[in-house]
Chains A and B, each alone.
Chain A
């Protein structure tokens, strides 16, 4: 993926000989969700929308839904802090299966 949002053209790395210097002009397509070991699953009935998970999430992946909060699984790295902090035990961590 190239830097499509930038206002200036990307640096033309082909002008630098290979093996010269570690630089990157392309964005990695990998997201934290790609290497998650466990994912948070929200019990929508237990969730009271207190937003404790939203406050504590270190990567700001918690999103507000109609009547509950849940993690965006593209960016959630599965750290489990939301499940640990949830005062209503509404979040449980479930192992990711390939």
Chain B
């Protein structure tokens, strides 16, 4: 069992501690609200000698991730954090990272997408980049943030995975929300992470001369098969990561006693007729509302998505098989479906499970708006009503009258 020290900190500091305990060799950051205090915190750890890493204060997020590409190819364990417009500016190297199979861990301190101008939480940024080939894990509490950043390195650097991982925590609610956090000991984390080897497959190394990312594809020669091979290899690795994420969470649980659901958490679902589906920090309020409804005899449960990419299809199908109606709460918008991204994906999972059931899309908590007990009382009531009446196609905007 890990010897832990209890500290009191917010989610940004928890992420910085998680990264620090993972001992990255290179950290590059550019500050952006609500990630800034994370950048300050890990910079301070490096300045104070708590973390022995090269800190690169580059001129923007495009350079942040490009620098980490080089560092990773040179064999360094790497870390950064960003969100919102910073993530948008990072997008060009962001798109290349999974294809190069670089196990870079990056915290996304999720922020709503502008315009309209806002600096507050919302998952629009992370959801917008959900299909680029990064693993995406969403956290519920500051403790889960710290634990998941450490676990993310094990997932990312696993030989059968070799993928970049985003550990996402909600801007404002988790980034600034202060709570008690257990900080594991360095020796135990070192043992958990094992010996680092991040560039065995592709390297900037005079001892192993190679061209990284040469031209492939096209219609002739070996191009088509090569390109398909790389694309398919990435898709296969994404699927493999589901198994690895479960294994790593299990090992972490045996080490710390904290058993986070790796893919999908089922909460009071066993005898439920209907369920609320949540992602991220909103889950706390949602669980309180479920507890309250249960006390009133309502047969409601909850399904929390932790791993959103790759989508945990089997785990979601298994959870959905236990209920007859769902209300999916998104903290972002799928503009293409007039729905929320999680809602849309759950609808896809229903098809794979051979099920049709009422599935309401609720959208709330945009741009820092609250998702409170009251909002979830409404979600539960409307989902219960959908059991008999079915669901409307369009979304319910939870903060429309707040």
* A18–B202 touching, CB < 8 Å: no
Q: Residue of A at shortest CB range from B206? A: A8
Binary per-residue interface labels of chain A (13-47) against chain B in the complex, 1 for a CB within 8 Å, 0 otherwise: 10111111111110000000000000000000000
Q: Are A15 and B99 in contact (CB under 8 A)?
A: no
B203-228 contacts to A, CB under 8 A, are 203, 206-214, 216, 226
Distance in Å: Cβ of A39 to nearest Cβ of chain B? 23
Q: How far is the CB of A24 from chain B (nearest CB, A)?
A: 4
Asked whether, in the complex, the Cβ of A23 is within 8 Å of the Cβ of B230, the reply is no
Which among A6, A8, A17, A23 is the interface contact of B212 at CB below 8 angstroms? A23
Give a binary string over A46-89; 1 marks a CB under 8 Å from any B CB, 0 the rest: 00000000000000000000000000000000000000000000
From the candidates B206, B214, B234, name the one contacting A23 in the complex (CB within 8 A).
Answer: B214
| B200 engages A22 (CB within 8 Å) | no
B233 CB–A CB distance under 8 Å: yes
Contact at B211–A24, with CB atoms within 8 Å? yes
**Among candidates A3, A15, A21, residue contacting B209 with C-beta atoms closer than 8 Å:** A3
Does B229 lie at the interface of the complex (its beta carbon under 8 Å from any beta carbon of A)? yes
Closest CB of chain B to A16's CB: distance in Å? 5
> How far does the Cβ of A7 sit from chain B's closest Cβ, in whole Å?
10
Tell me whether B100 is interfacial, beta carbon within 8 Å: yes
Partner pick for A19 among B208, B212, B229, CB 8 A cutoff? B229
- Which chain B residues numbered 158 to 200 have a C-beta less than 8 Å away from chain A? 162, 200
Considering only CB atoms and an 8 Å cut-off, how many residues of chain B contact the other chain? 25
Alpha-carbon distance A20/B210, docked complex (angstroms) = 15
**Contacting pair B210 A23 (CB below 8 A):** yes
CA distance A13 to B202 in the complex (A): 9
Residues of A within 8 A of B232 (CB): 19
Q: Which of B86-104 contact A (CB under 8 A)?
A: 99-101
Q: How far is the CA of A3 from the CA of B206 in the complex (A)?
A: 13
B309: min CB distance to chain A, Å: 19
Task: Name the residue in A11, A13, A23 with the highest tally of chain B Cβ atoms < 10 Å from its Cβ.
Answer: A23
Closest to A27 in B: B211
Q: Is B236 an interface residue (CB 8 A)?
A: yes
A69–chain B nearest beta-carbon distance, Å? 32
Q: Assess whether B243 is interfacial by the CB under 8 Å rule.
A: no
B294 beta carbon closer than 8 Å to chain A: no
In the complex with contacts A11-B203, A24-B214, A19-B209 CB distance below 8 A = no
Q: Does B201 contact A (CB under 8 A)?
A: yes
Known: A16-B201, A18-B229. A25 touches B206 (CB 8 A): no
A21 adjacent to B200 (CB under 8 Å): no
Interface residue from B99, B210, B226 paired with A11 (Cβ < 8 Å)? B210
Residue of B nearest to A6 (CB): B209
- 8 closest pairs, A vs B, by CB? A19-B233, A11-B208, A19-B229, A24-B211, A24-B214, A21-B101, A21-B202, A16-B201
Q: List residues of B whose CB falls within 8 A of some A CB.
A: 99-101, 162, 200-203, 206-214, 216, 226, 229-230, 232-234, 236
- Known: A20-B233, A21-B100; 9 extra A-B contacts, CB below 8 A, are A3-B209, A6-B209, A11-B208, A19-B233, A19-B234, A22-B214, A22-B226, A23-B201, A23-B213
Chain A residues packing against B (C-beta within 8 Å): 3, 6, 8, 10-11, 13, 15-25
A-B contact pairs, 17 of them (CB 8 A): A6-B209, A8-B206, A8-B209, A10-B210, A11-B208, A16-B200, A19-B229, A19-B232, A19-B234, A20-B101, A21-B99, A22-B214, A22-B230, A23-B213, A25-B209, A25-B210, A25-B211
